[in-house]
């Protein structure tokens, strides 16, 4: 199988072949160039968010429109282009004869879905072009919103791409109600020793602004935003006492909440020394 | 347990290239693929994408179905359909209907091209 990074690079290589050097990327035009017809589903039709169909030597992409987000729809189309372009995805086919087998193999198929997601991120937010705009976009949620409007991508997808590229300690977390769906951390944050990585489907820490925000569903539906602060220890159960900016945004009809945590750059050695000094002042009792 | 299409593909590609009397280099030029890619496909070291399959099928004048091992004839036998769904667990009746409608229009196009 391909690594997720390879899937992203495959998309970027494809854009180079197409000589595309400006944002936003147009996945409709790319599909058309590949000879793939693109069909929107009816707005009231939920079901799957996207499909790649092969019939004989013809291909078609169907994408859902029930989520009123151009970014989500463009991502769905790019995801299906990923299935068309990525090596080995011919093995992820699903047809009426082997429906049960395909469902049973959902865990292995999930790898294909992850690869197609990374391809879509690379296609709509290629590293070089994205980094060029990041330089002037600032940091945190404001930067993510600016980049999302430039790339015409969803806030969530842009947040993940942002945190992969930023060189400050940062994390983006998507939650629904009191449960964390996913968390992505920047490389600098990952380097902090002793950090507990947040796993999928864990509970939101209670002493955070996000937890309070999600207790009122209208905050999410009305796409409200609050800016607060919390501590790295609240989220990652680590030893370092580092204040982080906690920006919380409801994602509207999508029903999720995005939290962006950013901290000022810090010297890890200095922090460790501070911790040692604090520790030396803490009384230790002989057993 | 059924065989993955990519496992059937190397032998089918080799057979079709042999039938058309093309070298790996000839085929690479016709498909705008790297010669090493064609070689890797034939040894099974590299799996194809649908994009690769389309280019190879066009250049070799065979169907994608042949390259995937769905049919044994090079051309002209009833076409088959594959689908990849995102959020497969959400496949609804209306999705099936949409697919049926699109397939009808694809079928019409196929016939017109013939």
How many contacts (CB atoms, under 8 Å) link A and B? 151
Contact (CB<8Å) B102/A106: no
Looking at beta carbons, which residues of chain B come within 8 Å of A49?
86-87, 90
B62 vs A contacts (CB less than 8 Å): none
Residues B49, B88 within the same domain: no
**B10 and B62 share one domain:** yes
pLDDT at A55: 85
User: Cβ separation of B84 and A92 shorter than 8 Å?
Assistant: yes
| Of A56, A85, A113, Cβ closest to residue B51 | A85
Instruction: Give B54's contacts in chain A (Cβ within 8 Å).
Output: 35, 57, 59
In chain B, the residue whose alpha carbon lies closest to the alpha carbon of A34 is B51
- If asked whether residues B44 and B91 sit together in one domain, one would say no
Residue with the larger pLDDT of the pair A47 and A183: A183
pLDDT over 60 at A279, yes or no:
no
Interface check for A256 against chain B (CB to CB < 8 A): the answer is no
A49 touches chain B (CB under 8 A): yes
Number of folded domains that form chain B: 2
Evaluate if pTM is beyond 0.90: no
**Mean pLDDT, residues B32-53:** 95
Q: Could you tell me which chain B residue has the CA closest to the CA of A53?
A: B83
Q: Is residue B85 part of a domain?
A: yes
Chain B CA closest to residue A99: B88
Residues B101 and B59 reside in one and the same domain: no
Among A77, A250, A247, smallest CA distance to A152 is for A77
User: How many C-beta atoms surround the C-beta of residue B45 within 10 A?
Assistant: 11
pLDDT higher than threshold 90 for residue A281? no
A217 is written with which tokens?
Answer: 């569903």
Kindly determine whether residue A62 and residue B99, on different chains, have CB atoms separated by under 8 Å.
Answer: yes
A121 Cβ contact partners less than 8 Å away, ≥ 6 residues apart = A8, A11, A157, A160, A161
* pLDDT of B110 higher than 70: no
Would you place residue B48 in the very low, low, confident or very high pLDDT band (cuts 50, 70, 90)? very high
Residue of A57, A91, A254 for testing the chain B interface, max B β-carbons within 10 Å: A57
Q: Does B11 share its domain with B63?
A: yes
B37 part of a folded domain: yes
pLDDT, tens digit (0-9, with 9 covering 90-100), for A26-58:
999 999 999 999 999 876 666 677 889 888 888
Determine which of A18-22, A147-151, A264-268 has the lowest per-residue pLDDT on average.
A264-268
What would the mean pLDDT of B43-61 be, rounded to a whole number?
95
Tens digits of residue pLDDT in A233-249: 999 988 888 999 999 99
Q: Is residue B20 part of a domain?
A: yes
CATH number of the domain where residue B23 is located: 1.10.260.40
- Please tell me whether residues B63 and B99 are part of one structural domain: no
Q: Domain of B31?
A: 5-68
**CA A73 to CA A83: how far, in whole Å?**
16
Question: Burial letters for B85-111: b for 16+ Cβ neighbours within 10 Å, e otherwise?
Answer: bbebeebeeebeebbeebbeebeeeee
Taking an 8 Å cut-off on Cβ atoms, the answer to whether B49 and A95 are in contact is: no
How high is the pLDDT of residue A98?
32
B83 in the same domain as B64: no
Asked if the model's pLDDT at residue B108 lies above 90, the reply is: no
pLDDT digit string (tens) for A51-92?
898 888 889 998 988 777 899 999 999 999 999 999 998 887
CA B27 to chain centre: 16
Is the same domain home to B59 and B13? Answer: yes
What is the per-residue pLDDT for B113? 58
Say which residues have a Cβ less than 8 Å from residue A278's Cβ, sequence separation at least 6.
Answer: none
> Can you give the pLDDT at residue A155?
95
| Residue B100 contacts A where some CB pair is shorter than 8 Å | no
Q: Do B60 and B106 belong to one domain?
A: no
Q: At what angle do helices A4-17 and A106-124 cross, to 10 degrees?
A: 40
Q: Do residue A57 and residue B58 have CB atoms under 8 angstroms apart?
A: yes
User: Are residue B9 and residue B64 in the same domain, yes or no?
Assistant: yes
Are B54 and B100 within one domain? Answer: no
Do residues B88 and B41 both lie within one domain?
no
A47 contacts B95? CB cut-off 8 A: yes
Neighbours of A270 (CB within 10 A): 9
Q: Percent of chain A having pLDDT more than 70?
A: 86
Compute φ and ψ for A254, nearest 5 degrees: -65, -25
Average pLDDT over chain B, rounded to whole? 83
Q: Does A65 touch chain B (CB under 8 A)?
A: no
Q: Is residue B74 part of a domain?
A: no
Nearest to A56 among B85, B90, B110 (CB): B110
pLDDT confidence of residue A282: 52
For residues A93 and A95, what is the distance between their CA atoms, to the nearest angstrom?
7
pLDDT of residue B9: 95
ipTM of the complex: 0.82
Q: What is the mean pLDDT of chain A?
A: 87
Mean pLDDT of A82-108: 59
B53 belongs to a structural domain: yes
Tell me whether residue B73 is in a domain.
Answer: no
Q: Which residue has the higher pLDDT, A107 or A243?
A: A243
């Amino acid at each position: 199988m391909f690594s997720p990074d390879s899937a992203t690079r495959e998309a970027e290589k494809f854009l180079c072949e197409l000589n595309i050097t400006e944002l936003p990327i147009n996945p409709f035009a790319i599909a058309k160039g590949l000879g793939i017809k693109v069909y929107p589903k009816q707005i009231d039709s939920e079901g799957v968010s996207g499909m790649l169909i092969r019939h004989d030597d013809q291909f078609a992409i169907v994408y859902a429109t029930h989520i009123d987000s151009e970014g989500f729809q463009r991502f769905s189309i790019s995801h299906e282009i990923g299935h068309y372009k990525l090596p080995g995805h011919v093995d992820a086919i699903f047809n009426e004869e082997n429906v049960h087998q395909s469902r049973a193999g959902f865990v292995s198929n999930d790898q294909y879905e992850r690869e197609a997601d990374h391809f879509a991120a690379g296609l709509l937010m290629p590293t070089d072009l994205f980094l060029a705009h990041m330089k002037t976009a600032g940091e945190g949620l404001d930067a993510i919103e600016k980049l999302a409007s430039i790339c015409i991508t969803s806030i969530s997808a842009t947040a993940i791409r942002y945190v992969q590229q930023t060189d400050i300690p940062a994390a983006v977390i998507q939650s629904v109600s009191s449960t964390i769906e996913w968390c992505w951390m920047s490389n600098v944050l990952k380097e902090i020793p002793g950090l507990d990585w947040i796993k999928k489907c864990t509970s939101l820490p209670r002493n955070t602004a996000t937890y309070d925000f999600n207790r009122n569903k209208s905050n999410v539906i009305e796409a409200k935003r609050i800016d607060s602060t919390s501590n790295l220890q609240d989220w990652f159960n680590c030893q370092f006492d580092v204040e982080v900016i906690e920006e919380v945004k409801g994602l509207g009809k999508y029903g999720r909440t995005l939290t962006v945590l950013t901290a000022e750059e810090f010297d890890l050695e200095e922090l460790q020394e501070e911790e040692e000094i604090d520790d030396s002042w803490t009384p230790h009792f002989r057993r | 347990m059924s065989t993955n299409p990519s496992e059937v593909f190397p032998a089918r590609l080799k057979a079709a290239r042999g039938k058309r009397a093309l070298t790996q280099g000839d085929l690479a030029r016709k498909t705008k693929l790297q010669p090493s890619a064609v070689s890797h496909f034939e040894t099974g070291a590299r799996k194809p994408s649908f994009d690769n399959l389309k280019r190879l099928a066009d250049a070799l004048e065979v169907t994608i179905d042949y390259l995937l091992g769905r049919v044994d004839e090079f051309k002209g036998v009833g076409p088959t359909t594959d689908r990849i769904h995102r959020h497969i667990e959400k496949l609804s009746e209306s999705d099936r209907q949409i697919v049926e409608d699109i397939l009808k229009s694809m079928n019409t196009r196929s016939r017109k091209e013939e």
